Structure 1
Amino acid sequence: MRSENERVAPDGELRTITLEAYADTIVPGQKRHDGDRAIAGVATGGGAVQAGALELLQWDATGIHDGLDDLARLVNEHATAYAAERNIALDPSVPPFVALEYDDRAALILLLTTPGHPEKDFWVMLSLFCNMAFDSAAHLPTAQALADGHPGLAAMGLSHPDADGLWRFKDFGYGRELARLHPDTTPSGSPA
Protein backbone atom coordinates (compact mmCIF):
# COMPACT_ATOMS: atom_id res chain seq x y z
CA MET A 1 0.00 0.00 0.00
CA ARG A 2 1.33 3.45 -0.93
CA SER A 3 1.46 6.27 1.55
CA GLU A 4 -0.26 9.56 0.78
CA ASN A 5 3.10 11.15 -0.11
CA GLU A 6 3.84 8.45 -2.67
CA ARG A 7 0.61 9.34 -4.51
CA VAL A 8 1.68 12.94 -5.04
CA ALA A 9 4.38 12.30 -7.64
CA PRO A 10 6.12 9.40 -9.36
CA ASP A 11 8.74 7.64 -7.23
CA GLY A 12 11.66 9.15 -9.18
CA GLU A 13 10.42 12.67 -8.52
CA LEU A 14 9.92 11.91 -4.81
CA ARG A 15 13.46 10.57 -4.59
CA THR A 16 14.89 13.54 -6.47
CA ILE A 17 13.18 16.24 -4.40
CA THR A 18 14.02 14.41 -1.15
CA LEU A 19 17.70 14.00 -2.02
CA GLU A 20 17.87 17.60 -3.23
CA ALA A 21 16.46 18.75 0.11
CA TYR A 22 19.03 16.61 1.94
CA ALA A 23 21.89 17.98 -0.18
CA ASP A 24 20.65 21.55 0.33
CA THR A 25 20.67 21.00 4.08
CA ILE A 26 24.33 19.94 3.94
CA VAL A 27 25.47 22.84 1.70
CA PRO A 28 22.62 25.36 1.43
CA GLY A 29 22.00 27.34 -1.71
CA GLN A 30 19.67 29.84 -3.27
CA LYS A 31 16.23 28.80 -4.50
CA ARG A 32 16.17 28.09 -8.23
CA HIS A 33 12.66 29.52 -8.64
CA ASP A 34 9.82 30.82 -6.45
CA GLY A 35 8.12 27.43 -6.03
CA ASP A 36 11.31 25.52 -5.22
CA ARG A 37 10.47 23.30 -2.24
CA ALA A 38 13.65 21.21 -2.16
CA ILE A 39 15.97 24.17 -1.65
CA ALA A 40 15.17 26.08 1.51
CA GLY A 41 16.85 29.25 0.26
CA VAL A 42 18.75 30.02 3.47
CA ALA A 43 21.91 31.01 1.56
CA THR A 44 22.75 33.08 -1.49
CA GLY A 45 24.51 31.61 -4.50
CA GLY A 46 24.75 28.00 -5.48
CA GLY A 47 24.87 25.19 -2.94
CA ALA A 48 25.21 21.42 -3.19
CA VAL A 49 22.22 21.02 -5.52
CA GLN A 50 23.51 23.60 -8.01
CA ALA A 51 26.95 21.99 -7.72
CA GLY A 52 25.55 18.69 -8.99
CA ALA A 53 24.99 16.67 -5.82
CA LEU A 54 22.29 14.56 -7.50
CA GLU A 55 24.52 13.80 -10.46
CA LEU A 56 27.35 12.77 -8.13
CA LEU A 57 25.06 10.61 -5.97
CA GLN A 58 23.71 8.84 -9.07
CA TRP A 59 27.20 8.22 -10.44
CA ASP A 60 28.03 4.52 -10.13
CA ALA A 61 31.55 5.38 -8.91
CA THR A 62 30.09 6.43 -5.55
CA GLY A 63 28.86 2.94 -4.77
CA ILE A 64 25.65 4.29 -3.25
CA HIS A 65 23.70 4.90 -6.45
CA ASP A 66 21.73 1.64 -6.07
CA GLY A 67 20.65 2.55 -2.53
CA LEU A 68 19.30 6.05 -3.17
CA ASP A 69 15.65 4.94 -3.23
CA ASP A 70 16.10 3.35 0.20
CA LEU A 71 17.91 6.39 1.61
CA ALA A 72 15.17 8.72 0.38
CA ARG A 73 12.49 6.43 1.85
CA LEU A 74 14.33 6.18 5.18
CA VAL A 75 14.93 9.91 5.59
CA ASN A 76 11.24 10.51 4.86
CA GLU A 77 10.29 7.93 7.50
CA HIS A 78 12.60 9.65 9.98
CA ALA A 79 11.10 13.04 9.04
CA THR A 80 7.59 11.71 9.68
CA ALA A 81 8.61 10.44 13.13
CA TYR A 82 10.52 13.65 13.90
CA ALA A 83 7.49 15.76 12.98
CA ALA A 84 5.10 13.57 14.99
CA GLU A 85 7.30 13.85 18.11
CA ARG A 86 7.30 17.65 17.81
CA ASN A 87 3.68 18.13 16.68
CA ILE A 88 4.80 19.58 13.34
CA ALA A 89 2.11 19.44 10.66
CA LEU A 90 3.65 18.29 7.38
CA ASP A 91 2.44 19.45 3.98
CA PRO A 92 1.23 16.23 2.29
CA SER A 93 1.92 17.61 -1.21
CA VAL A 94 5.67 17.02 -0.79
CA PRO A 95 7.73 14.26 0.83
CA PRO A 96 7.99 14.58 4.64
CA PHE A 97 11.67 15.61 4.70
CA VAL A 98 10.99 18.32 2.12
CA ALA A 99 8.01 19.55 4.17
CA LEU A 100 10.26 20.27 7.16
CA GLU A 101 11.62 23.80 7.60
CA TYR A 102 15.37 24.14 7.14
CA ASP A 103 16.16 24.25 10.87
CA ASP A 104 14.20 21.02 11.39
CA ARG A 105 15.92 19.37 8.42
CA ALA A 106 19.29 20.29 9.92
CA ALA A 107 18.26 19.08 13.39
CA LEU A 108 17.08 15.75 11.96
CA ILE A 109 20.34 15.24 10.05
CA LEU A 110 22.24 16.04 13.24
CA LEU A 111 20.26 13.32 15.03
CA LEU A 112 20.89 10.82 12.22
CA THR A 113 24.64 11.50 12.17
CA THR A 114 25.14 11.49 15.93
CA PRO A 115 27.52 8.82 17.25
CA GLY A 116 25.50 5.85 18.38
CA HIS A 117 22.68 6.22 15.86
CA PRO A 118 22.29 2.78 14.22
CA GLU A 119 22.16 4.27 10.69
CA LYS A 120 24.85 6.90 11.26
CA ASP A 121 27.25 5.50 8.64
CA PHE A 122 24.65 5.82 5.87
CA TRP A 123 23.81 9.43 6.68
CA VAL A 124 27.42 10.49 7.14
CA MET A 125 28.28 8.91 3.78
CA LEU A 126 25.36 10.64 2.05
CA SER A 127 26.36 13.94 3.65
CA LEU A 128 29.99 13.55 2.58
CA PHE A 129 29.00 12.94 -1.03
CA CYS A 130 26.74 16.02 -1.00
CA ASN A 131 29.63 18.05 0.36
CA MET A 132 32.03 16.51 -2.18
CA ALA A 133 29.85 17.71 -5.06
CA PHE A 134 30.30 21.28 -3.83
CA ASP A 135 33.92 21.11 -2.67
CA SER A 136 35.53 19.21 -5.51
CA ALA A 137 33.05 18.57 -8.35
CA ALA A 138 34.36 15.00 -8.27
CA HIS A 139 31.83 13.93 -10.91
CA LEU A 140 33.07 16.48 -13.47
CA PRO A 141 36.34 17.25 -15.22
CA THR A 142 37.75 20.19 -13.25
CA ALA A 143 38.34 22.41 -16.29
CA GLN A 144 34.75 21.82 -17.46
CA ALA A 145 33.34 22.53 -13.99
CA LEU A 146 35.27 25.80 -13.83
CA ALA A 147 34.20 26.81 -17.35
CA ASP A 148 30.57 26.11 -16.40
CA GLY A 149 30.83 28.28 -13.27
CA HIS A 150 30.68 25.49 -10.67
CA PRO A 151 29.60 27.28 -7.46
CA GLY A 152 31.87 25.39 -5.06
CA LEU A 153 35.04 25.72 -7.12
CA ALA A 154 34.23 29.38 -7.75
CA ALA A 155 33.67 29.99 -4.01
CA MET A 156 37.07 28.48 -3.27
CA GLY A 157 38.71 30.67 -5.91
CA LEU A 158 40.20 27.77 -7.86
CA SER A 159 42.16 29.16 -10.79
CA HIS A 160 41.40 28.28 -14.38
CA PRO A 161 43.89 26.25 -16.42
CA ASP A 162 46.05 27.77 -19.12
CA ALA A 163 44.83 27.64 -22.74
CA ASP A 164 46.39 24.18 -23.17
CA GLY A 165 44.34 22.80 -20.26
CA LEU A 166 47.25 22.62 -17.79
CA TRP A 167 47.52 24.49 -14.53
CA ARG A 168 50.67 26.51 -14.06
CA PHE A 169 51.41 28.86 -11.24
CA LYS A 170 53.49 32.00 -11.67
CA ASP A 171 54.33 32.19 -7.97
CA PHE A 172 55.95 29.38 -6.02
CA GLY A 173 53.79 27.96 -3.22
CA TYR A 174 56.49 28.48 -0.60
CA GLY A 175 57.64 31.81 -2.03
CA ARG A 176 60.70 30.23 -3.61
CA GLU A 177 61.58 27.48 -6.05
CA LEU A 178 62.18 24.26 -4.10
CA ALA A 179 63.89 22.32 -6.90
CA ARG A 180 65.04 22.94 -10.45
CA LEU A 181 63.04 21.39 -13.26
CA HIS A 182 64.55 18.08 -14.38
CA PRO A 183 66.11 18.47 -17.85
CA ASP A 184 64.09 15.54 -19.25
CA THR A 185 60.72 16.93 -18.23
CA THR A 186 58.36 17.12 -21.22
CA PRO A 187 56.45 20.31 -22.15
CA SER A 188 53.32 18.79 -20.53
CA GLY A 189 55.16 18.47 -17.20
CA SER A 190 55.58 14.71 -17.32
CA PRO A 191 58.89 13.09 -16.48
CA ALA A 192 60.63 11.51 -19.46
Structure 2
Amino acid sequence: MATNPIHERLRLWVRVSKNREPSPSEAIMDSQTVETGTMVSKDVGFDSGKKIKGRLRHLMVDTLGLLIVVVITAANLSEQAGAKQVLSKLNSMRGLGRLIQIWVDGGYRGKGFSHWVINVYRWLWSVVTRHQEHKGFVVLPKRWLVERTFGWFNWCRRLSKDYEILPQTTEAFIYVAMIRLMLKQLV
Protein backbone atom coordinates (compact mmCIF):
# COMPACT_ATOMS: atom_id res chain seq x y z
CA MET A 1 0.00 0.00 0.00
CA ALA A 2 1.30 3.46 -0.84
CA THR A 3 1.79 5.91 1.98
CA ASN A 4 -1.20 7.95 2.97
CA PRO A 5 -1.13 11.56 1.68
CA ILE A 6 -3.07 12.82 4.72
CA HIS A 7 -0.54 11.16 7.01
CA GLU A 8 2.37 12.64 5.04
CA ARG A 9 0.95 16.18 5.18
CA LEU A 10 0.23 15.94 8.92
CA ARG A 11 3.74 14.60 9.61
CA LEU A 12 5.21 17.63 7.86
CA TRP A 13 2.95 19.99 9.84
CA VAL A 14 3.84 18.36 13.17
CA ARG A 15 7.56 18.54 12.39
CA VAL A 16 7.33 22.24 11.47
CA SER A 17 5.21 22.97 14.58
CA LYS A 18 8.02 21.45 16.69
CA ASN A 19 10.59 23.74 15.00
CA ARG A 20 12.05 20.95 12.88
CA GLU A 21 12.76 20.81 9.16
CA PRO A 22 9.89 19.21 7.20
CA SER A 23 12.22 16.44 6.00
CA PRO A 24 14.08 14.41 8.64
CA SER A 25 17.84 13.90 8.41
CA GLU A 26 17.78 10.82 10.66
CA ALA A 27 15.39 7.89 10.96
CA ILE A 28 15.11 4.89 13.25
CA MET A 29 13.95 1.45 12.14
CA ASP A 30 12.85 -1.62 14.08
CA SER A 31 10.37 -4.45 13.87
CA GLN A 32 7.74 -5.78 16.25
CA THR A 33 6.21 -9.25 16.25
CA VAL A 34 2.45 -9.17 16.79
CA GLU A 35 0.23 -12.17 17.40
CA THR A 36 -2.55 -12.65 14.85
CA GLY A 37 -6.19 -13.49 15.41
CA THR A 38 -7.30 -17.09 14.98
CA MET A 39 -9.07 -16.43 11.66
CA VAL A 40 -6.03 -14.75 10.07
CA SER A 41 -4.00 -16.99 7.77
CA LYS A 42 -2.56 -14.78 5.00
CA ASP A 43 1.09 -13.70 5.46
CA VAL A 44 1.39 -15.31 8.89
CA GLY A 45 4.56 -16.99 10.14
CA PHE A 46 6.21 -18.20 13.33
CA ASP A 47 8.82 -16.03 15.05
CA SER A 48 11.06 -18.67 16.62
CA GLY A 49 12.92 -16.12 18.73
CA LYS A 50 9.79 -14.82 20.45
CA LYS A 51 7.72 -18.03 20.07
CA ILE A 52 4.84 -16.12 18.49
CA LYS A 53 2.72 -17.03 15.47
CA GLY A 54 1.86 -13.79 13.74
CA ARG A 55 3.14 -10.91 11.66
CA LEU A 56 6.04 -8.48 11.82
CA ARG A 57 5.52 -4.73 11.77
CA HIS A 58 8.60 -3.11 10.23
CA LEU A 59 8.56 0.58 11.15
CA MET A 60 10.70 3.53 10.26
CA VAL A 61 10.17 6.68 12.30
CA ASP A 62 11.78 10.11 12.46
CA THR A 63 13.47 11.56 15.56
CA LEU A 64 10.09 12.71 16.89
CA GLY A 65 8.78 9.13 16.72
CA LEU A 66 6.46 9.97 13.83
CA LEU A 67 5.89 7.17 11.35
CA ILE A 68 7.59 7.47 7.97
CA VAL A 69 7.07 3.96 6.56
CA VAL A 70 5.42 0.73 7.73
CA VAL A 71 5.59 -2.69 6.09
CA ILE A 72 3.73 -5.75 7.39
CA THR A 73 5.22 -9.20 6.70
CA ALA A 74 4.97 -12.74 8.04
CA ALA A 75 6.76 -13.13 11.40
CA ASN A 76 9.21 -15.71 10.03
CA LEU A 77 10.78 -13.16 7.65
CA SER A 78 14.21 -11.94 8.78
CA GLU A 79 14.67 -8.33 9.87
CA GLN A 80 17.09 -7.72 7.01
CA ALA A 81 14.60 -9.00 4.42
CA GLY A 82 11.93 -6.75 5.94
CA ALA A 83 14.39 -3.85 5.95
CA LYS A 84 14.88 -4.28 2.20
CA GLN A 85 11.13 -3.84 1.70
CA VAL A 86 11.05 -0.78 3.98
CA LEU A 87 14.04 0.81 2.26
CA SER A 88 12.55 0.17 -1.17
CA LYS A 89 9.30 1.83 -0.11
CA LEU A 90 11.22 4.69 1.53
CA ASN A 91 13.31 5.26 -1.59
CA SER A 92 10.16 5.74 -3.69
CA MET A 93 8.81 8.46 -1.37
CA ARG A 94 9.26 12.13 -2.16
CA GLY A 95 10.23 14.80 0.35
CA LEU A 96 12.96 12.87 2.17
CA GLY A 97 15.94 14.51 0.51
CA ARG A 98 17.63 15.37 3.83
CA LEU A 99 17.67 11.76 5.08
CA ILE A 100 21.27 10.77 5.77
CA GLN A 101 21.36 8.29 8.66
CA ILE A 102 19.25 5.32 9.75
CA TRP A 103 19.60 3.88 13.26
CA VAL A 104 18.79 0.16 13.77
CA ASP A 105 19.16 -2.58 16.39
CA GLY A 106 21.40 -5.65 16.35
CA GLY A 107 18.98 -7.68 14.22
CA TYR A 108 20.09 -5.64 11.21
CA ARG A 109 23.79 -6.18 11.91
CA GLY A 110 26.18 -7.44 9.27
CA LYS A 111 28.89 -5.74 7.26
CA GLY A 112 27.56 -7.11 4.00
CA PHE A 113 24.08 -5.75 4.65
CA SER A 114 25.39 -2.38 5.89
CA HIS A 115 27.55 -2.02 2.79
CA TRP A 116 24.59 -2.98 0.60
CA VAL A 117 22.45 -0.21 2.16
CA ILE A 118 25.22 2.36 1.72
CA ASN A 119 25.98 1.32 -1.86
CA VAL A 120 22.39 1.05 -3.07
CA TYR A 121 20.66 3.87 -1.18
CA ARG A 122 23.55 6.10 0.00
CA TRP A 123 22.27 6.21 3.59
CA LEU A 124 24.48 5.69 6.64
CA TRP A 125 23.43 2.53 8.46
CA SER A 126 24.24 2.64 12.21
CA VAL A 127 23.64 -0.37 14.44
CA VAL A 128 23.00 0.54 18.09
CA THR A 129 23.57 -2.33 20.53
CA ARG A 130 23.69 -2.61 24.29
CA HIS A 131 27.13 -2.74 25.92
CA GLN A 132 28.05 -6.17 27.32
CA GLU A 133 28.74 -4.84 30.83
CA HIS A 134 25.18 -3.49 31.24
CA LYS A 135 22.67 -5.90 32.78
CA GLY A 136 18.89 -5.46 32.66
CA PHE A 137 17.04 -2.60 31.01
CA VAL A 138 19.12 0.16 29.39
CA VAL A 139 17.80 3.08 27.34
CA LEU A 140 19.67 3.02 24.05
CA PRO A 141 20.37 6.25 22.17
CA LYS A 142 17.94 6.90 19.27
CA ARG A 143 16.43 3.41 19.51
CA TRP A 144 14.00 4.35 22.27
CA LEU A 145 12.15 6.59 19.80
CA VAL A 146 10.85 3.71 17.71
CA GLU A 147 10.03 1.73 20.87
CA ARG A 148 7.92 4.66 22.06
CA THR A 149 6.04 4.59 18.75
CA PHE A 150 5.31 0.88 19.28
CA GLY A 151 4.02 1.85 22.73
CA TRP A 152 1.65 4.42 21.19
CA PHE A 153 0.02 1.57 19.27
CA ASN A 154 -1.06 0.06 22.60
CA TRP A 155 -3.49 2.98 22.94
CA CYS A 156 -5.35 1.55 19.94
CA ARG A 157 -7.26 -1.58 20.81
CA ARG A 158 -7.39 -2.61 17.16
CA LEU A 159 -3.56 -2.71 17.02
CA SER A 160 -2.95 -4.70 20.22
CA LYS A 161 -3.18 -7.84 18.10
CA ASP A 162 -3.32 -8.25 14.33
CA TYR A 163 -6.97 -9.06 13.60
CA GLU A 164 -6.89 -8.11 9.92
CA ILE A 165 -7.14 -10.66 7.11
CA LEU A 166 -4.92 -8.61 4.79
CA PRO A 167 -1.57 -7.07 5.82
CA GLN A 168 -2.50 -3.94 3.81
CA THR A 169 -5.46 -3.38 6.15
CA THR A 170 -3.13 -3.51 9.15
CA GLU A 171 -0.89 -0.92 7.48
CA ALA A 172 -3.92 1.30 6.91
CA PHE A 173 -4.95 1.06 10.58
CA ILE A 174 -1.41 1.97 11.67
CA TYR A 175 -1.54 5.08 9.47
CA VAL A 176 -4.96 5.96 10.94
CA ALA A 177 -3.58 5.57 14.48
CA MET A 178 -0.68 7.89 13.65
CA ILE A 179 -3.02 10.43 12.02
CA ARG A 180 -5.07 10.45 15.23
CA LEU A 181 -1.94 10.95 17.33
CA MET A 182 -0.60 13.77 15.15
CA LEU A 183 -3.96 15.58 15.15
CA LYS A 184 -3.83 15.56 18.96
CA GLN A 185 -0.33 17.06 18.85
CA LEU A 186 -1.46 19.85 16.52
CA VAL A 187 -4.45 20.91 18.62
Same fold (TM over 0.5): no
Name which one, 1 or 2, has greater alpha-carbon Rg.
1
Comparing both chains, which one has the higher relative contact order based on Cα–Cα distances under 8 Å and sequence gaps of 6 or more?
A: 2
TM-score by length of 2: 0.28
TM-score by length of 1: 0.28
Greater helix content:
1
